[in-house]
Amino acid sequence: MTDPTADETPPARIAYLNEPQRDLAAWVRYFSHAEIPIMATTAAAIEELRAREDEVDAKMLGSVVESDPFMTIKVMADVAARRRPGDITETETVTTSLVMTGVAPFFRNFGAQPTVEDQLADQPKALDGLMALLQRTQRAAHFAMAFAVHRGDTDASVIYQAAILHDFAEMLMWCHAPTFQLEIISMQQANPTLRTAALQRFVYNIDLDDLRQALMKVWHMPSLLVRICDGKHPDHPSVRNVVLASRLARHIMQGWDNAAVPDDVNDIAKLLNAPPRVVLSFLHKVDQPPQ
């Protein structure tokens, strides 16, 4: 992952991928060195805080960073890369990572950031697709935190972060391979019975969940976060928490009348040990926008 610089000149737009990489190892090599843009709102908020650095603390920075999956990955990868050999303590959340780093070093390490809006300026449909995915991710994280709090899970903050990063590999594809992502959307529109994961494997030669997990390991993400992100082991309650929150958020993007929602509610009811009727009411309350 390219280190950010303090250069104020907007970076040249990254060339899009025209061919898929050969296999998972090739995809990991590509993204290990690729620039990762962040949301324009995040970039603007960081610059606003930079202007009053003396008033800023880790919690203020964390609230900006942790809502953006791209910046979350960049911060945690940066902290992991600076960890000294022999350090046994991992910073498991954005805020603890920023406490470890310090405010002043954060602003030194992260100059003006490239944005996804600039990256996809000539791909408005792809930008719309990415924004929809980011909105879905925010809803999933909101559900995941609510489930974790209800369950009294002591790792609630890590679960929230895992939900934020659940679809991170797909977000990278929107930024670096937008034509492939639009191709997947087109195929789904032509045949709604086609599953997203199957189409992604067909187009990219890999499972995007495998790419997410591989990149998190390459970037030395905290082991607890990596485990909770691993949806292929859903028997653990924390993992299932994230999987069900992400699944529900995906299904309700077109409305709560989606045919898959009743199954989601039943599975969430088992996780929360509550009647489905009560859980459905709870989910609607959780999904209400803040006043």
According to the model, what pLDDT value does residue 92 have? 66
| Structural domains of the chain ordered from first start | 24-115 (no CATH), 117-286 (1.10.3210.10)
CA 215/CA 130 separation, integer angstroms? 20
According to the model, what pLDDT value does residue 13 have? 59
CA 289/CA 203 separation, integer angstroms? 35
Angle 32-36-42 from CA coordinates, rounded to 5°: 145
Which tens digits make up the pLDDT trace of 182-219? 999 999 999 988 888 899 999 999 999 999 999 999 99
CA 29/CA 1 separation, integer angstroms? 10
H or E element: which one contains 4?
none
CA 15/CA 17 separation, integer angstroms? 7
Residue identified by tokens 């737009």 is 13
According to the model, what pLDDT value does residue 100 have? 84
For residue 277, how far is the Cα from the chain centroid? 30
Phi-psi region of 102 (alpha: psi -120 to 50; beta: other; left: phi over 0): left
Contact predicate 112/6, CB 8 Å: yes
> How many CB atoms sit inside 10 A of residue 111's CB?
15
The pTM for the full model equals 0.89
pLDDT in tens, the chain (291 residues): 544 444 444 445 567 998 999 999 999 999 999 999 999 999 999 999 999 999 999 999 999 999 899 999 999 888 888 776 555 555 668 888 888 889 999 999 999 999 999 999 999 999 999 999 999 999 999 999 999 999 999 999 999 999 999 999 999 999 999 999 999 999 999 998 888 889 999 999 999 999 999 999 999 998 899 999 998 887 899 999 999 999 999 999 989 999 999 999 999 999 999 999 999 999 999 998 765
According to the model, what pLDDT value does residue 97 have? 86
